Structure 1
Amino acid sequence: MRCFALIWLFLLTGTTAQASAPLIVDNATRVISDLQPHVSYFRDQERQLLPDQVMEQPSLFQPASQREGLNFSYTRDRLWLKATVTSTADRRTDWILEMRYPSLDRVTLYNVGADGTVIQHQGDTLPYQQRDMKHRNPIFKLYLEPGESRTLFVAAHSEGSLTLDAQLWQAEHFYENSQASYAILATYFGMLLALAIYNLLLFAVLRERSFVLYVCFVVAFGAGVAAINGLGAQFIWPNLGEHGNRILPFSLSLSAAVGVLFARSFLDTARRTPLLDSFLAIFAWMAMLATLTTLIIPIQPALQLMSVTGLLTTLVLFTAGMICVVKGIPGARIFVIAWLMLLVGGMLLGLRNFGLIPSNFVTVNAMQIGSAVEMLLLSLGLAARFNELKRLKEQAQLQALSAQKQVVQSLVHQERILALRVAERTEALAEANKRLELLAMQDPLTGLGNRSALGRHLPQAMQRTARRGELLALVLIDLDGFKAINDELGHDVGDQVLVGIASRLSGCARQTDLVARLGGDEFILISEGIADQEDALQQGQRLLDVMSMPLELEGVSVSVGASVGISLSNGVEPDIETLMRQADQAMYQRKRSGRHGVVLHTASPPEKIKA
């Protein structure tokens, strides 16, 4: 009986091992898109087995041809794939094994041949520079000599959907196809960027809330799609590692919440359907709560919550749009068609993530295809709404003109209207002059005061200081190493640094202080009510500490030092010219001493004027 059992086990093992046919390639093979008939798989549920233990036990593997696909949905298992590749080519051939789903956390290839085992690591939680091959998808290089056979073991685990569909390419054909795929993605994200900029400009002109909500929706959704396609981990957050996994559920859940707010504004539900508006408001809060929840719960439940939130949001908004179509609300039809496109795409992607439908080009890219059509339609809907607003405005202008013509019939009314218009225009002219005067006193980049503002403020501050018997501090600030920032990171980043420094200086200043930009990277602070030299030094040090904190600009952390020179006046002496010169001397003394510090000009410190 024991012998019979051993023979039966041997037969079972042999059947399993022979179930997956070897993969034969030659010179003419361009790509093998369906590897499933040639692949066996093994689920390491405990994730305890070492690679050598797995590779030395072929009986662990089952033929993948018995499955409907290689999508294992959300699982904590470590999945192993095994395939044997044999070359019948008459020369050495180079191959690329491509995993077609970019959002895999870690994928390792053990390439076993007569020369030993070659190990390659990939995955979107691996810092981009540490990947063995640089690409948005997990890819692996494979060399085959004529007649050579190699056994490939792929080990993968992921907090997201564990989709292990793979293709085997001849290297040159892979790179051709890769360029085409990058071009398609570039077109998609270029479209998103163009739509976002276009609607942002419309918001700047019309101040309509719908446009800015649309822009926020596009940006949040675009970040999620970048995470799905691996472009985020390649270009935007290449070094976040496992923390980058949070971006996908957070951004797509956020886009769901913003999408509900956009629907309320676009359909004007608050005025036209108050009951539906109340429901959408509650749902928006729930979507926002789900968004925040994705930041604190484990990644896998966060991704599942994202899928559920996205599907529910699309269904809710589609239903809300249908209700608005029935009520005859303008723009509702195009809104329904747009969300129907996203609903189809989102449902296909969600069902694929849960392993309920096969993984292929359509299901993997369903969200992108549906979202592209949806965003174009919504943008067209916003444009139609813009035209409607323009028509209503013209209609209102015509009505106003008709009313004016009736009023003109009466001479008394005409005189009153004329007097009213003169008064309004006078007031508008006065306001315009005030705005021009204010603009003349402002630095256009930072919004701080300029030299003109300094020239007006400083004499008045000197008079107040003398009258109150106090001290006034003139703080001159010059950024260290700013030219290097412009040279290395560009003038746009340099301008952002100046704006950030200006904001920090304004935040540290009191309401009675004046913060101004003299030009370039030079700033000045006029501070009244200074107690003594120590008080002035402490204020300068506080400014220096605040400016020294790193600035986070578009994924780049920039630290800026500063040389600070301070001079004091009692309002009478030294005079303004001397006060400026002393601060300048103190500042350059700091630069000559090694930069990044505070120096107080101490020659003949002024005394307070006694009342």
Structure 2
Amino acid sequence: MHARRLTAGVYTCLLLLAVSWIPGAYANTLLSVSPNQASYSLAPYSEFWHAADSPASLDELLALSPAFERSHNVQDLNFGYTRRDVWLRTQVRNESPDAQRWIVQFEFPFLDHVTLYTLRQHFSGVQRSGSAVPVEQRALANRQAVFPLELAAFETVTLYTHVAASGSKMLSYNLMTPEAFNAQDDRYNFWLATYFGMILALGLYNLLLFFGLKERVFLHYSLFVGGFGLAILAFNGIGTLMFWSFLGDNTARLVALGFTFASTMATLFAQSFLNTETYCPRWHQVLSTFRSYCWLAVLATLLLPISSALQLMDVTVFIAALLLLVCGSYCCLRRVPSARLFVFAWSLFLLGAGVFALRNLGILPANFITLHGIQIGSALQMLLLSFALAARFNKLKRQKERAQSVMLATLRKQEAVLEQKVAARTRALEHLANCDVLTGLLNRHGLMRCAENALLRNQQQGDQLALLMLDLDRFKPINDHYGHEAGDFVLQKIAKRIAHLARTGDHCARFGGDEFIIIMESIESADTLATIQARIEQAIQSPIILPCGERVSVSVSVGISTCQGADNATLESLLREADNNMYAVKTRQAETCYRYGSA
């Protein structure tokens, strides 16, 4: 009897303990909210359940009645990449005597489908949101999954949340007052707008530099920024909110495609920026091989299931950042220009990308740094690389200016040489046009030009001008007997004697055959002309030794015509008068020779 009573007492105590434990455990999952506090983290007050065959609706879940696991902190709700859907459960009680309005906010914006069920005493409500849900079907139009929650005075509700996502499931969520949520949302949107504005400005600026300078490094950087910016735009929910909510589940694929393409362009940018083909040929080959893998990864993100494409994206981004960092470090050892700044920039990006990948894989906890690490790292990296590109732009500008200066100096030098050649050629052509080829004296054309100028000066100054016509005698026999070469030799000798006897400023010309012309300006008297004529006749009559050794001599008949400034004489009139006088001299010489011959 005593044993039975003892056993009954033990069972009674255990039952009382169980009853006392159940309310305590239940109380730990109940969040009592007050308007005096603006924000609550729901992670410590939540339970979660996920299985391969998790139900798709609340009725199915309640019918299944699964055993939820308790969440103690935010890290417990970081499930990483898992294909299983997740259910969350928590209870919220309004301790205020007034009705209150709250906002349920999921921090991680990259969640495809989030469905919130609100169980009340008499009914339940359903709200949907998520990055794959069209904006018009969301509970609130926001880049994150957010839901309004109305609580009556002293009301207690149970929240069931169903999350289906192909990417990493970071399910930290909060309960916030509308004022606190709007303030936080405005602050985040400001920084995101600043971030995307910077990306857009950097991309367009370097694209314009490419069109201006035709340097591919600026194009590669612009494509890298463009692919990265597109992925971040989709990842943060802004793209789906503003541009492509119609993509639905393919929004996640766009993230994978953008980051993988950015890794491809980053590899190409590193090769052109560091000039690995010249400084590090082996690393250039390694990066080229990896870039081929990246192109295959880009194709794979279009064909693989979205979850696999996202995991491939994480691996590709992390390997690309690590590989480029090692390559940049090697280039630093080789003292490649701008390699140090490149390494520092990619170290920051690698840190952000590593945090991003490890958080998605569920290795790192979810917090502000891990949630926005890739944006912080990429912003610093892009700014540093932009500084490096600006330095390269200034270097290219200086090189271009130096090249232009050298080219201009070369052109000027060539222009001066060309001008000299043109002047020399012009002088040569003028000499050919105005001078006799055989004797070097003026020809008929040159004589006419010089005569026009001489007559014009004579008219202006009123001085006496004389034209002397010289016709060689006994020249034809030399030409006939010794040949034309000997005749040309005699003409050259006579031309040199005439040029030697002429005064400075006199004009000597070969008029044709064996006739020569001398135009003399500023003649003082007739005695001067007689003296000059005598000297010319004496010089020409001097013997000439031919190349063959024979000695020959010629005489000359000189006809002179003169004019004063007021006579208005022309070259034709002077030539006609001098020709008449020359023939008169020849006639007299012929008569004299005949008379002496008869005697």
Question: Which TM-score bucket, shorter chain as reference?
Answer: 0.5 to 0.7
* Residues 1:231 and 1:411: Cα distance change in structure 2 (over 3 Å): closer
Counterpart of 1:254 (choices 256, 261, 265) is 261
Counterpart of 1:305 (choices 312, 320, 324) is 312
SS at match of 2:337: coil
Counterpart of 2:152 (choices 136, 145, 148) is 145
Counterpart of 1:26 (choices 34, 38, 45) is 34
1:444-593 to 2 correspondence within 5 Å?
A: none
SS at match of 1:27: coil
CA contact (8 A) 1:20 1:40 kept: no
Query: In the alignment, what sits opposite 1:512?
Result: none
- For residue 135 of structure 2, what is the amino acid of its counterpart? Y
Gaps of 5+ in 2: 1-6, 426-599
Counterpart of 2:243 (choices 236, 239, 242) is 236
- For residue 25 of structure 1, what is the amino acid of its counterpart? V
| Normalised TM-score (structure 2) | 0.65
* Residues 1:39 and 1:377: Cα distance change in structure 2 (over 3 Å): same
Counterpart of 1:274 (choices 275, 281, 299) is 281
Q: Does 1:294 align with 2:289?
A: no
CA contact (8 A) 1:20 1:63 kept: no
Query: In the alignment, what sits opposite 2:325?
Result: 318
Counterpart of 1:129 (choices 136, 141, 155) is 136
CA contact (8 A) 1:342 1:374 kept: yes
SS at match of 2:249: helix
1:396-407 to 2 correspondence within 5 Å?
A: 396-400=403-407
Query: In the alignment, what sits opposite 2:81?
Result: 74
| Normalised TM-score (structure 1) | 0.64
Query: In the alignment, what sits opposite 2:208?
Result: 201
CA contact (8 A) 1:106 1:125 kept: yes
* Residues 1:13 and 1:53: Cα distance change in structure 2 (over 3 Å): farther
CA contact (8 A) 1:54 1:60 kept: no
Query: In the alignment, what sits opposite 1:552?
Result: none
Query: In the alignment, what sits opposite 1:514?
Result: none
Moved over 6 A (4+): 6-13, 56-59, 404-408, 416-419
* Residues 1:231 and 1:137: Cα distance change in structure 2 (over 3 Å): same
**Distance apart, 1:17 and its partner CA:** 5.0
CA contact (8 A) 2:106 2:171 kept: yes
CA contact (8 A) 1:111 1:152 kept: yes
CA contact (8 A) 2:55 2:61 kept: no
**Distance apart, 1:189 and its partner CA:** 0.6
SS at match of 2:245: coil
Q: 2: distance between equivalents of 1:51 and 1:13?
A: 27
CA contact (8 A) 1:161 1:354 kept: yes
Residue by residue over 1:227-267, the C-alpha shift from the partner in whole angstroms, topping out at 9 and shown as x without a partner, is 11011111121111112221000110000001100111111
CA contact (8 A) 2:43 2:73 kept: no
**Distance apart, 1:415 and its partner CA:** 3.0
CA contact (8 A) 1:39 1:64 kept: yes
CA contact (8 A) 2:74 2:365 kept: no
Deviates more, 1:360-369 or 1:168-177: 168-177
CA contact (8 A) 1:111 1:153 kept: yes
How many equivalent residue pairs? 415
CA contact (8 A) 1:263 1:317 kept: yes
SS at match of 2:126: strand
Deviates more, 1:11-20 or 1:358-367: 11-20
* Residues 1:196 and 1:68: Cα distance change in structure 2 (over 3 Å): closer
* Residues 1:397 and 1:50: Cα distance change in structure 2 (over 3 Å): closer
**Distance apart, 1:68 and its partner CA:** 3.3
Residue by residue over 1:275-327, the C-alpha shift from the partner in whole angstroms, topping out at 9 and shown as x without a partner, is 11111111111111111101101011100000000000000111111111111
Residue by residue over 1:421-474, the C-alpha shift from the partner in whole angstroms, topping out at 9 and shown as x without a partner, is xxxxxxxxxxxxxxxxxxxxxxxxxxxxxxxxxxxxxxxxxxxxxxxxxxxxxx
**Distance apart, 1:202 and its partner CA:** 1.0
Counterpart of 2:421 (choices 415, 425, 436) is 415
**Distance apart, 1:207 and its partner CA:** 0.8
Query: In the alignment, what sits opposite 1:169?
Result: 176
Q: 2: distance between equivalents of 1:66 and 1:405?
A: 78
Q: 2: distance between equivalents of 1:305 and 1:318?
A: 20
Residue by residue over 1:567-596, the C-alpha shift from the partner in whole angstroms, topping out at 9 and shown as x without a partner, is xxxxxxxxxxxxxxxxxxxxxxxxxxxxxx
- For residue 259 of structure 2, what is the amino acid of its counterpart? L
CA contact (8 A) 1:96 1:140 kept: yes
* Residues 1:120 and 1:200: Cα distance change in structure 2 (over 3 Å): same
Deviates more, 1:168-177 or 1:249-258: 168-177
Q: Does 1:345 align with 2:352?
A: yes
SS at match of 1:134: coil
Query: In the alignment, what sits opposite 1:45?
Result: 52
Query: In the alignment, what sits opposite 2:389?
Result: 382
Deviates more, 1:323-332 or 1:174-183: 174-183
Q: 1: distance between equivalents of 2:203 and 2:424?
A: 44
Q: 2: distance between equivalents of 1:262 and 1:12?
A: 66
Q: Does 1:356 align with 2:360?
A: no
Gaps of 5+ in 1: 420-611
CA contact (8 A) 1:39 1:63 kept: yes
* Residues 1:282 and 1:13: Cα distance change in structure 2 (over 3 Å): farther
CA contact (8 A) 1:27 1:90 kept: no
Q: 1: distance between equivalents of 2:74 and 2:35?
A: 30
**Distance apart, 1:360 and its partner CA:** 0.7
Query: In the alignment, what sits opposite 2:231?
Result: 224
**Distance apart, 1:45 and its partner CA:** 2.4
**Distance apart, 1:379 and its partner CA:** 1.0
**Distance apart, 1:399 and its partner CA:** 4.3
Query: In the alignment, what sits opposite 1:558?
Result: none
**Distance apart, 1:8 and its partner CA:** 13
Q: Which of 1 and 2 has greater Rg?
A: 2
Kindly, what percent of the aligned residue pairs are identical?
36
Q: Does 1:158 align with 2:165?
A: yes
Q: 2: distance between equivalents of 1:9 and 1:274?
A: 75
* Residues 1:415 and 1:301: Cα distance change in structure 2 (over 3 Å): same
CA contact (8 A) 1:88 1:146 kept: yes
Q: 2: distance between equivalents of 1:67 and 1:341?
A: 26
CA contact (8 A) 1:318 1:339 kept: yes
**Distance apart, 1:162 and its partner CA:** 0.8
Query: In the alignment, what sits opposite 2:113?
Result: 106
Q: 1: distance between equivalents of 2:227 and 2:17?
A: 55
Q: 2: distance between equivalents of 1:361 and 1:385?
A: 35
- For residue 383 of structure 1, what is the amino acid of its counterpart? A
CA contact (8 A) 2:74 2:172 kept: no
- For residue 331 of structure 1, what is the amino acid of its counterpart? S
**Distance apart, 1:63 and its partner CA:** 1.0
